[in-house]
Amino acid sequence: MEWQALWLSLRLSFWTTLILLAIGLPAAHWLTFSPRRWKFLVEAVVALPLVLPPTVLGFYILLAIGPHSPAGRLYAALTGGMLPFSFQGLLVASVLYSLPFAVQPFTSGFAAVDRKLIEASWCLGVSRAATFFRVIAPLSIPSIVTGMILSFAHTLGEFGVVLMVGGNLAGITRTVSISIFDDVQALNYGAALHTSLLLLGISFLVLAATYGLRRRVWAVWPPYGQ
């Protein structure tokens, strides 16, 4: 049993989800409400991690954050450290890898908000930004929660990208899925089975809790007649 790997995976998922919330909400807002014709190009870029093999994505991220890349040099100048094979590098990769899992539910949630409600808010003198926090976001809470849960669960289970960008450093980049892979490679089936079962249990609990909570807490809109 790799408690250290599990703890690392949970930390990674937590921070990835938090960062995706901060990046994903404005990105989804732009994608939903921007009148730009070329926004479909951005949509396609955001969705790329869905179809690219994790190795391809991981390889590009490795190149992009490497010590010779502009991003890598900037990071080195700011912190003195390196992004590849570090927790921070893993975080960057995870955020990119899970981007569509956050942005797409957010976008569909925002798009489902009745445009007339948004316009009513504008006409009442409320700015676009304030309208987002007072009307769009509250009415999209189920979609926002779904996006967060998907990001969390997806990061928890990622493998290929982590291996490419983070390698396999205990306590730094060895996530739970990599430790399972290690165990299987070492024919240590018992440990692999335990860890896998734990991951399955956690994933199921997270999803079940979300769907269960959504039923009760977000029941601001029960069907008519209740």
Give the residues lining the site for another protein (CB under 8 A): 114, 116-117, 119-127, 134-135, 138-139, 220-221, 224
Q: How far is the CB of 134 from another protein (least distance, A)?
A: 8
Q: Which is nearer to another protein, 29 or 154 (CB)?
A: 29
Locus of tokens 């938090």: 18
Q: How far is the CB of 122 from another protein (least distance, A)?
A: 4
Q: Which is nearer to another protein, 121 or 173 (CB)?
A: 121
Q: How far is the CB of 188 from another protein (least distance, A)?
A: 52
Q: Which is nearer to another protein, 47 or 126 (CB)?
A: 126
Q: Is 225 helix (H, G, I), strand (E, B) or coil?
A: coil
Neighbours of 157 (CB within 10 A): 15
Instruction: Return phi, psi of residue 157, to 5°.
Output: -100, 5
Q: Which is nearer to another protein, 117 or 205 (CB)?
A: 117
Q: How far is the CB of 147 from another protein (least distance, A)?
A: 19
8 Å CB contact between 46 and 27: yes
46 φ/ψ sector (left φ>0, alpha ψ -120 to 50, else beta): alpha
Amino acid code (one letter) for 83: L
Q: How far is the CB of 213 from another protein (least distance, A)?
A: 17
Distances (CA, A) of 142 to 81, 113, 130, 215: 39, 12, 20, 10
